[in-house]
Structure 1
């Protein structure tokens, strides 16, 4: 008799079939670095990879959690979610770290190296395989490519820059500079440039490729530049160089570093998680939660795409990329020193959320929302470009739906961003609609904390954010910055004024919904706290605290600014149109206005509180503020940042209304514990002629000269002026002023005390240069300084 052969059905395969087919049985899957992809994905027998869990989930219905057990997961390719991974509403999937365990998702490859002595303290190791050497981490800490000048965190630009960084004299000492990089600021400090060195000629001049990272092409700064990845510049601890020709890694370790036990990791991936769908077939209802995301490649040589007529170019990538996603979430993740952007939402995205995250020391921006230029009607792509008026599409709004809308970034801490690129922001918005940015804390950034590149298409809500220590490595910008170079905008003001007058519907054809900025706290020490530049229109700005840089409105229409507190500064209206429809009312300003080319003051500028009678009189002489007043606003407690006003304040009589001062920034206790708080200003009105208080002035530590000992030490004849105590390397005064200098005049204004100095300086917000007269070595000396 012939035996019938039956297929073997193992217990394992039965379990897996049950797991994949049941609607109710499988609500949890597990991944472990010690797991196996042949396992069923249970807690006892977890999978080993995200990819395996992803494949299993495609056959599982119902809401499911994928618990990722503690450990480091080195990806060899990004995890890419497509429409095949989409979930129905109420049946979403969450990939999250197992409670109480730390999960690190890395785009790096750990190296096993045999170190040998090279020269001095420099070590070398042979590397096998074809690997990218863009960054190197030792025991989790980023090390620096060999560079000139060496990195110094106390120096403002790049942590060290030099005019001779690419001089022929220096280049002649480099045997193989190809593969190195040049990093430089924009000539006007509007962001930066990067170049790949492809070689050098016989005269020692480098051949460069790049310089496309800025949309306002003017060339690199002649002073603020540095080079990296040059072997001959390997001369200080913490630097490394990889010889790609010979596959040898050279490293100059810090003292007491045991390289035999060190974990060396080199990033290989540009992204870790990608959501790749379309409007027609979106990726839906997937959440990434509670993981550390690290070790992605720097992408500065791919930052090429211009964002319409803003100053930006962009690379559409990041550690997490969303394109064609709906209702997807990145929650409570730590973006640790990623090489480019943190999260990038590109083109079609709806109702996505970034919440409770921590983004530190990213090479580029924190969170970007950027749509498709093809969705824009009559787009222009460079500052000087303009579509002829008779060719402009006059239909309001977008042409397609291929842009982010109704997406949110909230309760997220961001700092140290732009460690490589300088035209960056904590939050970048371009060609998007109805983006919500709320309760974020953003600081220590080279340019804006929050940037809106153009008016397309408005509806954004910017609320309850705390944004400070901004514009640290650039100039002419703000803690919040926007441009409004929309369809009606023209680089020639006279032409633009005519277009706006004759075609008023074009003004809001792109910014079809108001952009609202309320209940934020901003501080910028190298520009404006709120900077609405180049035609920014259709804004409602209220209940904000501006700690230092004031508020600027340039060109544009239909801006209502009310109920804001502007400390140690004021209102900066620049180059206004006739009949702008602008409103500035019920605000507290602590300096006189600083108008530039304003002949028509809009719809209403009135009912504001000024610090003194001369400031009010100047405004009324210009034709504004007929019903405004002056006086002490009576802040509840300015020393702790409570700028609500007391009962009886003259501001209340003008219509000012108190708003909460304790709701700025992140809300999570765990994130609050990490925040380095904003430095609150000492109000000019409260600066004292006497006493021993020290103050900050343009990055220098100063005080009133008011003791006999200080008079004797400086050689002054009287106890007057402002004494310089210390000058930080990050200060614009570094190399200009010295400790024990006494400031006597600032731009020909007499300086008897700190109040005089700050009052004069605040009136020179736009100046690129100023003259300081100091008393040094028993004589007066005039010194030119750059204020930015």
Structure 2
């Protein structure tokens, strides 16, 4: 048994009375113990200056908060952040020199501060092949602007940097950073009912220039002098630089576990990490879910007669700040993932990983992203307020897995899909509750499955409520989903409850015993690959609730949390 404390010392022996200071020292000590070793983190913030990495040599080690599982459990935070303290105040704005630090997120007394923004290009503006022109002179003064393109496709949101602005007669010519803008011109091409669209179009918002600091509680990073960045913050009433705690995330990876077996994390808080790539010239050319484009060519999907979109021939996945790669028997229990600038927890490959009883909130991207693993269990987790920066991010995403179980999770307040399953094998989506999904982007659902499901998938006992944007399907099987049983689910207050006709068509799909407050599209003429039987539509909400009380009582978290 070893102890680690923010007040410890690595020259000590790691006992309760004389704990270590760093996780690295505790890791070294644990490696010398035969069999399982336990490392207990005492309350406080454990600041990392580099990612904490575990390998096969660390198999069998448990990292847990002191008092885990008791009323006296202490809050042990593993942080990749840096306090910002050297503020100068001018005209009510706090200013701090931060060197080459790329600040995309900022946390003020634990609150995620918004980036300063305006709602789009000022003046009469139009797009060009390399950027934009406008009759406004305002962009001539911009130094660090990032253009946001929400809804390029209904399910996509790009982020692209501005390179320069020059006066040309009575116009301002804006040149966008490359290669990001060129990739966006390559990717975003669509034809809809005879109308052709090319490129990302006009921005829906522009962020991060000091000129946009107009709302209290917002910040911007002036990057006009390379290596001499200046962070600016417009405080809320009552905030004082001498008393207010301001933290900027520095690390992009907090924890990486590769090749280890039977490692466990219990009761810990993972916080303050970032992802700086979208601020580089490559930008963030988003397509769908957690995937984005960085060149390599596009292909065309025909959506119907006279309608098509281009999509990436290959895409890259938003990284996670806590990553498990090719592990076996890993357990993550009762942990919190918060204030992170990418996805929370990422799993790639490996087998037998369990994530149980964890909370995911205040994340720039998704909560949990699982790819290519076997026997992963995601149970009793709460995912909410995610996708705050990358709006296509699902709450929970499962791709290319074998035998994955997603059960009794609660997903709420997310900008796009709640739970996403791509092509996989033997996935079971059981008794989950999704509420207030699809809050920003469109064409998705509370639960969304796409593509062939190998040995089959089961979607049973889920409750899907309040799927918000127009053009969504609460329970959505899409793009040639096959081998799926959809049974005893409850869908209510969606734009559409479900849909039976998609392209490519559904194959070997059964809808049985589900309850809806509106008939799914195509229910009266199911395609040949769909069996639709024993489903009940009850439009009155009280009657629907009464009829589904048993299903609803078993969906969502296994244990309530405050």
* Alignment pair present for 1:198 and 2:163: yes
Deviations 1:176-204 (CA, angstroms, capped at 9, x unpaired): 54543111123231121111222234433
Residue 350 of structure 1 aligns to a residue whose secondary structure is: coil
TM-score (norm 2): 0.82
Offset of residue 63 of structure 1:
2.7
**Residue 53 in structure 1 maps to residue 26 in structure 2:** yes
Q: Kindly tell me: are residues 533 and 46 of structure 1, through their superposed partners in 2, closer, same or farther at Cα, counting changes over 3 Å?
A: same
| 1:110 aligned residue (75, 83, 88) | 83
Aligned residues of 1:146 and 1:229 also touching (Cα < 8 A):
yes
2:547 matches 1:643: yes
Cα deviation digits, residues 506-546 of structure 1 (max 9, x gap): xxxxx321100000001224311111112111001101001
Q: Alpha-carbon deviation of 1:468?
A: 2.0
**Structure with the bigger percentage of strand:** 2
Matched-pair contact (CA < 8 Å) for 2:144–2:221 = no
Equivalent runs, 1:611-690 vs 2, <5 Å: 638=543, 641-644=545-548, 659-669=550-560, 671=561, 673=562
Once the two structures are TM-superposed, the CA of residue 469 in structure 1 deviates from its matched residue by 1.1
Structural mapping, 1:243-258, within 5 Å: 243-244=222-223, 245=225, 246-258=228-240
Does the residue aligned with 2:2 lie in a helix, a strand or coil?
A: strand
Quote the Cα distance in structure 2 between the aligned partners of 1:257 and 1:164.
38
Q: Which has the higher contact order (CA 8 A, sep 6+)?
A: 2
- Which of 440, 445, 449 is the matching residue for 1:478? 445
8 Å CA contact retained: 1:161, 1:224:
no
Give 1:430-509 correspondences, 5 Å limit.
Answer: 430-453=399-422, 455=423, 457-484=424-451
- Alignment counterpart, residue 267 of structure 1, candidates 204, 229, 249: 249
Q: Superposition RMSD on alpha carbons, in Å?
A: 3.1
Among 233, 251, 264, the alignment partner of 1:287 is 264
SS of the residue corresponding to residue 112 of structure 1 reads coil
Shift of residue 313, structure 1, vs aligned partner: 4.2
Tell me the SS of whatever aligns to 2:236. Answer: coil
Offset at residue 273 of structure 1 (A): 0.9
Question: Match of 1:399?
Answer: none
Residue 507 of structure 2 aligns to a residue whose secondary structure is: coil
- Tell me, yes or no, if the aligned pair for 1:482 and 1:532 is still in contact at 8 Å: yes
Matched ranges for 1:155-304 at <5 A: 168-169=133-134, 172-175=137-140, 177-202=142-167, 203-209=172-178, 210=180, 217-218=188-189, 222=201, 225-244=204-223, 245=225, 246-276=228-258, 282-298=259-275, 301=278, 304=292
Supply the distance in 2 between the matched residues of 1:471 and 1:573 (Cα, whole angstroms): 23
Q: 1:532 to 1:299 in 2, by over 3 A?
A: farther
Match of residue 463 from structure 2 = 521
Residue 558 of structure 1: how far off its partner (Å)? 0.4
Query: 1:172, 1:204 within 8 Å by CA — same for their partners in 2?
Result: no
**Conservation of the 8 A alpha-carbon contact between 2:8 and 2:19:** yes
Distance between the aligned counterparts of 2:109 and 2:73, measured in 1?
A: 22
Tell me the TM-score normalized by structure 1: 0.60
Instruction: Tell me the distance in 2 between the aligned counterparts of 1:471 and 1:163.
Output: 31
Q: Which residue of 2 aligns with 1:143?
A: 113
Q: CA deviation at 1:470?
A: 1.4
* 1:349 is aligned to 2:331: no
In 2, Cα distance between equivalents of 1:576 and 1:565: 17
* Structure 1 residue 572 corresponds to structure 2 residue 522: yes
Please list the CA deviations of residues 667-698 of structure 1 after superposition, one character each: whole Å capped at 9, or x if unmatched: 222x2x3xxxxxxxxxxxxxxxxxxxxxxxxx
Contact 1:190 1:475 in 2 (8 A): yes
CA, structure 1 residues 247+369, in 2 after alignment: closer, same or farther (shift >3 Å)? closer
Q: 1:543 to 1:342 in 2, by over 3 A?
A: same
Aligned length in residues: 504
Structure 1: which 5+ residue stretches go unaligned?
A: 1-27, 151-159, 277-281, 371-402, 487-510, 592-631, 646-658, 674-788
Give 1:44's match in structure 2, choosing from 17, 32, 37: 17
Change (3 A) 1:433 1:264: same
Asked if the contact 2:143/2:222 (under 8 Å) is kept, the reply is: no
User: Residues 642 and 78 (structure 1 numbering): CA distance in 2 closer, same or farther, change over 3 Å?
Assistant: farther
8 Å CA contact retained: 1:66, 1:95: yes
SS of aligned partner of 2:26: helix
Deviation at 1:144, TM superposition (A): 2.2
- Gapped runs of 5+ residues in structure 2? 190-197, 279-283, 285-290, 302-310
User: Could you say if the C-alpha distance between residues 323 and 51 of structure 1 is closer, same or farther in structure 2, counting changes exceeding 3 Å?
Assistant: same
State the shift of 1:140 in Å: 1.6
Mapping of residues 3-22 of structure 1, within 5 Å: none
Q: Distance in 1 between matches of 2:414 and 2:162?
A: 27
Q: Deviations over 1:607-632 (max 9, x none)?
A: xxxxxxxxxxxxxxxxxxxxxxxxx9
Q: State which structure, 1 or 2, has the greater radius of gyration over its C-alpha atoms.
A: 1
